[in-house]
Copies of this chain bind each other. A is one copy, B any other.
Amino acid sequence: MKFLNKLADLTPLQDEVFNMQQEVNQAINKFGKESVYNGTIGTLFDEDGNFVTLKSVYEIYDNLLDSQKAKYAALIEGNPTYLDAIKKWILNEVDFKLANKAIATIGGTGAISLSVSTCLDKGDTLIIPSLSWNNYKLIASRHGLELKNYQLFDNDNFNLNSFKEVCKEVLVKNKKVAVIINDPLHNPTGYSMSLEEWKEVINIINDLSKLGEIILINDIAYIDYTKKPLKSREYLTLFNNLNENALLVIAFSCSKTLTAYGLRLGAALIANQNQKLIDDLYLELTKHARSTWSNVPFGAMELFTKVTSSDYLENYLKEKQTFIDLLEKRGHTFKKECKNYLIPLYPHTGGFFITIKVSNEKKELIHQKLKENNIFLLKVNDGIRVGLCGLNIKKCKELPTLINKVLQENNLKFE
């Protein structure tokens, strides 16, 4: 194809969240806000349907000096104060023993794409969960990577066996693999792995690392909406046991943590037993950042540093907790009603999303029929995602009844 490189395939951008917004808006204009159930979005709305911007965050941002918004980052890697704050924030009270460094990125997407760009060659394999954020697939294809899935669930537990088998298969063939675990509060299900499951994952990785290099990308975009964000970091201590042939990349995003999706700030924390490996990798990550986006927003870095500093932290945590509690109520309400109608759900522990189990054969039709009834949800692999973050408690209560009605009227089943 003229002017395009070999990665070009001209397949349309499958980005339902962004694309469906137009359909939703049309429905709202026609039928009114109250009659439209918009479960497509991935940002937080309050009970009155207002987009949430945490006051404890934006009071600080609005009071930064203009020069703090205007300046280039102090370093390509990020402002040193931000990098300190990020490490403290992610690791918190965890007794983390691996050699590690953090680099500022453009959002959580940037943390993942930067590590993939720096570690993987065309033809390498990226393994992702069978249910996952759509963009992982695009990241793989835009890097010319092979894509493989591990089955996320074995009944209602993390599928350790599938994780092991798929990683092993690739390692035997390629001697190198990158694998993404999106936990806690997995998107789209809201599942969080148990400490036991994480222990087993690390055992598997250590065992398999005799076969080759394993890059474990732990996407923690939703970690700060776990019921107890501090306790939810406990599993990070388990990484101390990772052996030298396994590289850990923790991909962090400020988007949800600060309700600052549009400020485009994130970080990648890389960790390994070997300091020299980390130093080398860090240099290459830095060069790749410089050649891709040059540096990240100064003001957003200052914001994060300040919000998480001792003067402001308590106020922020308190405000954020009200929304964690709210999301819990929404999830609880939705799940309770689903039980009444035997609507099958994937395991869910909290957070922005929950996912209905729907076979891929039935998915298109059900999704379409729901849309015709002003219920806008997101198709995922073997499921339909419900964005609790965008639906108030009233709608969370009504939605299962309405979904059930649509299925009954159209003589449809989920499986």
- Interface residue ranges, A against B (CB under 8 Å): 1-8, 10, 12-13, 15, 18, 21, 43, 51, 53, 58, 61-62, 66-76, 106-107, 109-110, 113, 117-122, 124, 135, 138-139, 141-143, 213, 215, 247, 255, 259-264, 272, 277, 280-281, 283-284, 286-288, 290-299
Contacts and interface: CB of A to CB of B under 8 A. Distances in A.
A292 B70 contact: no
Given A8-B118, A10-B283, A113-B291, A58 B70 contact: yes
B291 A260 contact: no
A264 to B, nearest CB: 5
A142 B66 contact: no
Contacts of A247: 3
Q: How many copies does the complex hold?
A: 2
B118 A4 contact: yes
Contact of A5 (B75, B118, B255): B118
Contacts of A12: 283
A8 B284 contact: yes
A69 B277 contact: no
Considering residues A12, A68, A70, which has the most beta carbons from chain B within 10 angstroms of its beta carbon?
A70
Contacts of A264: 106, 264, 293-297
A262 B120 contact: no
A69 B263 contact: yes
Considering residues A58, A67, A74, A272, which has the most beta carbons from chain B within 10 angstroms of its beta carbon?
A67
A121 B121 CA distance: 13
Contacts of A62: 62, 66
A222 to B, nearest CB: 15
21 contacts: A3-B281, A4-B119, A5-B118, A5-B121, A8-B280, A10-B284, A43-B72, A51-B67, A58-B66, A61-B66, A69-B263, A70-B263, A72-B255, A106-B294, A113-B291, A122-B122, A135-B291, A143-B291, A262-B298, A264-B296, A297-B297
Nearest to A290: B138
A71 to B, nearest CB: 5
Contacts of A213: 2-3
Contacts of A66: 53, 58, 61-62
Which 3 residue pairs across A and B have the least CB separation, nearest first?
A262-B298, A109-B294, A106-B293
Given A13-B290, A51-B70, A262-B298, 14 more contacts: A1-B280, A4-B118, A8-B284, A10-B284, A53-B67, A61-B66, A69-B260, A71-B262, A107-B294, A109-B290, A113-B293, A141-B291, A142-B291, A264-B297
Considering residues A5, A43, A67, which has the most beta carbons from chain B within 10 angstroms of its beta carbon?
A5
A110 to B, nearest CB: 5
Given A4-B119, A4-B281, A262 B294 contact: no
Considering residues A6, A74, A281, which has the most beta carbons from chain B within 10 angstroms of its beta carbon?
A281
Contacts of A293: 106-107, 109-110, 113, 264, 292-293
